[in-house]
Structure 1
Amino acid sequence: MDYWQQPWLWIVAGVVLAVAEMLIPGFIFLGFAIGAVLVGALIWIGLLGHSIPVTLVVFAVLSILAWLILRRVMGVRPGQTKHWDRDINEN
């Protein structure tokens, strides 16, 4: 069994990415973390893990979906955008 077929490896990678998201906030790593944990769960229950290209494609799709859902739920709210009336360089 190859290392990329180990479900615990994907879950640990997801946790490491989640910790990186806490250290560097901005929704950069959180989608990848959720995607990695979901891939680990899919490998654990036996639905995935026989082919690395398929596993990586599923990881990419799940990460993008997780990021889009997070962006929809916790993204920019209406009225949150700052509108500037004057430039700081104007006298």
Structure 2
Amino acid sequence: MIKKRHPLSSKEQKELLSILKEKFPNIYEKLEKKKMIELIETKDGVKIYLQEGKAIAFLINEEIIPPLREEFLENLPKVIVDMGAIP
């Protein structure tokens, strides 16, 4: 359930974008840096960052996590598993 929902201040937005640039540079490149970012805080402590109504990041247990949006998936690390390695 949503506890609070509000736009980030310009300082908070710069801080978030800086973290995203450092941790997920490919995702950072796809964001609109000038557009407003909104924060949703849930009752269980999860923070959801939105831009134009779409999730751009989650903060869970002090860890920034990118959303599994199609345009971001291609930029995440990939693992290839040999089928012979799976019992």
TM-score normalised by the chain length of structure 1: 0.33
Greater Rg by CA:
1
Return the structure number with greater helix share: 1
TM-score normalised by the chain length of structure 2: 0.34
